[in-house]
């Protein structure tokens, strides 16, 4: 069996597991929590992590069925790509690849890229598994995706909603929490590319192990 975890990572996870108590979480949700704690060194993040019903199972099933991953930043894509390559060979894209360099629009480049990326990926996903989308930095881009879905565009297999900061961050997460879509969120102002990437990396790892 191909080894995908470094011994220090395995030791760290064992230590984290000994320090947390979360009987309300299933095994996949615990793996996500453990990996986020490992990436942040912050045990209190457990109080802010939210899962919609079966979100992790749906994410794993989507990855095993070939769902691509779409990120809001190149930083998040860089954090996900190594695990994607070591496990299922999942395609990883960033919305900024679709953003026009000098587009005249009221949207941020990330939000504009989200709009163009989703229109493109929806046309490619006919008869295939919808992408998993993660947000670690761009609340406006997440709002754009939710608006597109409300207009009838394809819904993603899973949304990882963890934008960090202060402007529109809490509001965008509230919007996400109010829609019936598979999602994993960090409530409040916390979040970031590292947490979002840690979440999808945990799902990639679980997907790979289930595929063996």
Residue 105's pLDDT is 63
CA torsion sign for 176, 31, 41, 86 is negative
Identify the pLDDT of residue 47. 97
Q: Among 5, 47, 19, 26, which Cα is nearest to 204's? A: 5
Which strand (E) or helix (H) includes residue 25?
none
Domain 7-211: CATH superfamily, name plus number: Cobalamin biosynthesis CobH/CbiC, precorrin-8X methylmutase (3.40.50.10230)
Q: What is the pLDDT of residue 2?
A: 56
Note the Cα 210 to chain centre separation in Å.
19
- The domain locations on the chain are 7-211
Nearest in space to 183 (alpha carbons), one of 152, 141, 155, 154: 155
CA 118 from chain center: how many Å? 15
The C-alpha atoms of residue 101 and residue 205 are separated, in whole angstroms, by 35
Instruction: Output the six-digit token pair for 173.
Output: 């997460």
Residues 11-34: pLDDT tens digits?
Answer: 999 999 999 999 999 999 999 999
Q: Sorting pLDDT into bands at 50, 70 and 90, what band is 6?
A: confident
Which residue carries 């939210």 as its tokens?
50
Q: Sorting pLDDT into bands at 50, 70 and 90, what band is 148?
A: very high
* pTM to 2 decimal places: 0.94
Report the pLDDT value the prediction gives residue 104, as an integer from 0 to 100: 55
pLDDT in tens, 74-120: 999 999 999 999 999 999 999 999 998 765 567 789 999 999 999 99
pLDDT at 127: 76
How are strands ordered across the β-sheet holding 49-51?
A: 49-51, 183-186, 158-161, 132-135, 69-71, 92-94
Beta bridge partners of 92: 69
Strands 132-135 and 183-186: unpaired
Task: List, for residues 30-75, the tens digit of each pLDDT value.
Answer: 999 999 999 999 999 999 999 999 999 999 999 999 999 999 999 9
CA distance 176 to 162: 10
Question: How many angstroms separate the Cα of 195 from the Cα of each of 128, 137, 178, 212?
Answer: 27, 10, 22, 26
Tens of pLDDT, residues 170-192: 999 999 999 999 999 999 999 99
Provide the pLDDT for residue 1.
Answer: 43
Query: Please, which residues bridge with residue 134 across strands?
Result: 71, 160
**For residue 200, what are the CA distances in angstroms to 148, 188, 204?**
23, 20, 6
pLDDT band at 125 (very low <50, low <70, confident <90, very high): confident
DSSP code at position 156: P
């Amino acid at each position: 069996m191909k080894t995908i975890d470094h011994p220090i990572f395995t030791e760290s996870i064992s230590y984290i597991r000994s320090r947390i108590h979360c009987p309300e979480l299933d095994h996949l949700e615990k793996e996500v929590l453990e990996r986020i704690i490992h990436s942040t060194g912050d045990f209190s993040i457990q109080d802010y992590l939210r899962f919609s019903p079966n979100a992790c199972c749906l994410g794993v099933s989507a990855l095993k069925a070939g769902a691509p991953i779409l990120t809001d930043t190149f930083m998040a894509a860089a954090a996900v790509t190594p695990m994607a390559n070591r496990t299922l060979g999942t395609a990883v894209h960033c919305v900024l690849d679709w953003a026009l360099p000098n587009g005249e629009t009221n949207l941020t480049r990330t939000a504009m890229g989200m709009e163009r990326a989703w229109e493109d990926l929806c046309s490619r996903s006919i008869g295939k598994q919808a992408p998993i989308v993660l947000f670690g930095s761009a609340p406006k881009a997440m709002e754009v995706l939710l608006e597109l879905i409300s207009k009838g565009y394809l819904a993603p297999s899973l949304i990882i909603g963890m934008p960090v900061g202060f402007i529109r961050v809490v509001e965008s997460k509230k919007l996400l929490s109010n829609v019936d879509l598979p999602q994993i969120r960090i409530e409040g102002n916390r979040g970031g590319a590292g947490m979002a990437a840690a979440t999808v990396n945990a799902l990639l790892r679980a997907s790979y192990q289930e595929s063996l």
